[in-house]
Amino acid sequence: GSLERRRWLYLRTGRACCQMVEVLLAALILVCSSVSCGSAGGYTGLSALGGIYYYQYGGAYSGFSGADGERAQQLDQRFYLLKLPVARAAMAVAGCLLVFPCVLILVGVLRVPWHFPAWLLIECTLYIVIAVGTVPALYYFLHSLLSVYNSSVCKEREQLYQNKGYQGFWCSLHGAEIAAGLLGCLAAMAYLLSAGLAVRDYRTGHEQKQKPLQL
């Protein structure tokens, strides 16, 4: 019973709290990335049926006729395919970042660092590597999206919808993509904080084991 209590007490430590924040941030990044991937159009405010529903079921093309309608559908499909690899890569990275702190929480609950203190140094190294790797990953994510928005497909698509009086198809980062970038920055800071906490706990545990047992 005392062993079980000691295991679950880990969830009240600073390192565990930081890891739970990392889980939350990774989940939010995953949601924002999926929104970017699933937004084939980006149309807002058409008809009483509502933006997304009305757009997905073809209502967004009600103002087009003939070749213009077909061209709008083609541009939407090409634009979606351009964004798809970037969004999928972001979702894959977010999924890995979601699993990683969950595994570390399980490791902490099982008291692996207590029996194998060197694990904390391994954990610190992994956190630093991930935090440093987050910077180029964010650059690639935003740079790739901006390349898509600067493409001729996006520009033609934007102009086509503007000529019909539709708004919401601008070639710029939307809220979910900006939020994913900001959340990525917060996650990188959380990883560095976790690395510092791992080093602190390692030193604390090492000092406690060096002290003689006192009755």
12 φ, ψ (degrees, to nearest 5): -100, 0
Average pLDDT over the chain, rounded to an integer:
81
Domain boundaries, the chain: 2-208
Q: Render 42-83 in DSSP notation, one character per residue.
A: -----TTT-HHHHHHTTGGGTT--THHHHHHHHHHHHHHHHH
Give the other-Cβ count within 10 Å of 192's Cβ: 16
**Region class of 171: left (phi > 0), else alpha (psi between -120 and 50), else beta:** beta
Whether the pLDDT of residue 42 is over 50: the answer is no
Cα–Cα distance for residue pair 33/38, rounded to 1 Å? 9
Whether the pLDDT of residue 204 is over 90: the answer is no
- For 131-181, the pLDDT digits (tens) are 999 999 999 999 999 999 999 999 988 888 888 777 778 888 888 899 999
Of 147, 145, 159, 150, nearest to 71 (Cα)? 159
Structure tokens that stand for 108 in this block = 């902490």
- For 74-129, the pLDDT digits (tens) are 888 888 889 889 989 999 999 999 999 999 999 988 888 888 888 999 999 999 99
Cα–Cα distance for residue pair 215/197, rounded to 1 Å? 29
Which residue, chain included where needed, has tokens 């690395």? 195
Cα–Cα distance for residue pair 151/85, rounded to 1 Å? 15
Of 26, 76, 18, 44, nearest to 184 (Cα)? 26
Whether the Cβ atoms of residue 94 and residue 26 lie closer than 8 Å to each other: yes
Whether the Cβ atoms of residue 176 and residue 35 lie closer than 8 Å to each other: yes
**2: exposed, middle or buried (C-beta count within 10 Å: 0-12, 13-18, 19+)?**
exposed
At CA 90, angle to CA 86 and CA 95, rounded to 5?
A: 150
Continuous H helices in 57-174: 67-109, 112-115, 118-149, 152-163
Give the other-Cβ count within 10 Å of 69's Cβ: 15
Whether the pLDDT of residue 65 is over 80: the answer is no
